[in-house]
């Protein structure tokens, strides 16, 4: 970073304004894998959809042609589960990468010796990850719509696709908050990443876990948005959360977990 940039960052965070913190983190994120990952996730899922249609298109289109299923159901039936996995694993990766910047270059100490609010720093990191996940979700929606157009599955069901993208995104926030909490608390990113990659598997398909946990909530959102047709999800294990329940649980859990993370960072002794 050039000295001009550095002074500008220092100046913009002197009052620790929210905008200053956001801009500072934006500068730090540039040139990392955070942005490419945000785009690669949805692109990968869409490509997988393309491969699926190419390999077994006839089989997948049959229920649409016979009028049993809408175009929306055809594209989300198989890809929905992958979409949820991608967002869930993306949350773990983003949370780890955004704090690994500070862990690896030991900037926590330098940063907090400036008049910068620790709570503000933590919340800003959460907000950035949430924004990146939202961008991923929006791109995922575009991916679905391009599949609908390509396979001539009728008019693009924008309302349904937007509900799916938004609801799964909201349901992913508790998981993001949890992962950011662990990733910030631990210097060694092996544990947060291991947990972040292995744990969602048990929540997202076929499990007896309660529906409100960070790992199962996304499956609930998917099940509602796609009308319960999720590949790999056993419908009987889903108690059927409606959108209001998903949002309430997601927002409540997220606030609690972000508060925990903020307190943990605020009280930690940084060596």
Partner 1 sequence: MLRMLRVEFMKMQWPLVGLVVLLGPLIAVVLGLNPGAGAGAEAWKLAYGFATVRYAWLFYPLLAGVLAALVCRPEHMGGGWKQLLALPVSRSTVYGAKFFVLVGLLAVANLVFGAVFIVAEMAVGLSAADIPWSEMGPSLLGGWIAVLPLAAVQLWVSSRWKSFGAALALNVCLTLPAIFAAQSHEIGPWYPWAQPVLAMSGLGPSSAKGMALGLSMTTLWVVIGGGLAVALIGGLVTFARADVRQ
Contacts with partner 1, residue ranges (CB under 8 A): 33, 37, 44, 48, 51-52, 55-56, 78, 81-82, 85-86, 89, 93, 96-97, 100, 189-191, 193-194, 197-198, 201-202, 205-209, 231-232
The 3-state DSSP class for residue 215 equals coil
Tell the smallest beta-carbon distance from residue 207 to partner 1 (Å).
Answer: 4
Interhelix angle 158-185/71-105, rounded to 10 degrees, is 20
Give yes or no for a contact between 46 and 146, defined as CB atoms under 8 angstroms apart.
Answer: yes
Alpha helices for 113-206 (secondary structure H) = 118-150, 158-185, 190-204
Shortest distance, CB of residue 47 to partner 1, whole angstroms? 10
Question: Which residue's CB is nearer to partner 1, number 59 or number 113?
Answer: 59
Closer residue to partner 1 in complex, CB, 63/232: 232
**Whole-number Å distance between alpha carbons of 217 and 247:** 10
The residue (of 13 and 189) whose beta carbon lies closer to partner 1 is 189
- Of 186, 193, 185, 137, whose CA–CA distance to 162 is shortest? 137
Residue 156 CB, nearest distance to partner 1 (Å)? 24
Distance CA 127, CA 73 (A): 32
End-to-end CA distance of the chain: 24
The minimum distance between CB 74 and partner 1, in angstroms, equals: 14
CB of 206 to partner 1, least distance (A): 6
In sequence order, which residues have a C-beta less than 8 Å from that of residue 112 and are 6 or more positions away? Answer: 118, 121, 270
Which is nearer to partner 1, 205 or 262 (by Cβ)?
205
Collect all residues with Cβ–Cβ distance below 8 Å to 270 and sequence separation of at least 6.
108, 109, 112
Taking the complex as a whole, how short is the minimal distance between the CB of residue 83 and partner 1, in angstroms?
Answer: 10
Cα separation, 207 vs 266, in Å, equals 36
C-beta closer to partner 1: residue 8 or 103? 103
Q: Which is nearer to partner 1, 55 or 131 (CB)?
A: 55
How many CA atoms does the CB half-sphere of 80 hold within 13 Å?
A: 30
Q: How far is the CB of 106 from partner 1 (least distance, A)?
A: 14
Neighbouring C-beta atoms of residue 137, cutoff 10 Å: 25
* Residue with smaller CB distance to partner 1, 213 or 262: 213
């Amino acid at each position: 970073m050039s000295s001009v940039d550095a002074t500008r960052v220092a100046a913009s965070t002197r009052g620790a304004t929210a905008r200053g913190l956001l801009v500072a983190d934006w500068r730090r994120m540039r040139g990392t894998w955070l942005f490419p990952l945000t785009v690669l996730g949805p692109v990968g899922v869409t490509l997988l959809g393309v491969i699926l249609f190419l390999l077994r298109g006839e089989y997948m289109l049959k229920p649409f042609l016979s009028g049993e299923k809408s175009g929306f159901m055809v594209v989300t039936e198989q890809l929905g589960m992958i979409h949820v996995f991608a967002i869930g694993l993306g949350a773990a990766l983003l949370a780890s990468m955004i704090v690994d910047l500070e862990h690896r270059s030991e900037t926590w100490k330098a940063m907090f010796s400036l008049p910068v609010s620790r709570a503000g720093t933590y919340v800003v990191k959460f907000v950035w990850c949430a924004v990146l996940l939202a961008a991923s979700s929006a791109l995922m929606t575009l991916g679905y719509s391009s599949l609908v157009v390509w396979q001539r599955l009728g008019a693009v069901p924008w309302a349904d696709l937007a509900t799916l993208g938004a609801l799964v995104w909201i349901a992913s926030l508790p998981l993001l908050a949890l992962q950011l909490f662990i990733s910030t608390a631990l210097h060694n990113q092996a544990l947060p990443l291991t947990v972040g990659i292995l744990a969602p598997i048990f929540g997202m398909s076929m499990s007896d876990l309660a529906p409100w946990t960070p790992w199962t909530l996304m499956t609930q959102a998917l099940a509602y948005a796609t009308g319960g047709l999720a590949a790999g999800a056993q419908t009987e294990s889903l108690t059927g959360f409606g959108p209001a329940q998903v949002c309430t649980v997601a927002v409540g859990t997220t606030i609690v977990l972000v508060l925990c993370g903020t307190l943990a960072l605020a009280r930690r002794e940084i060596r």
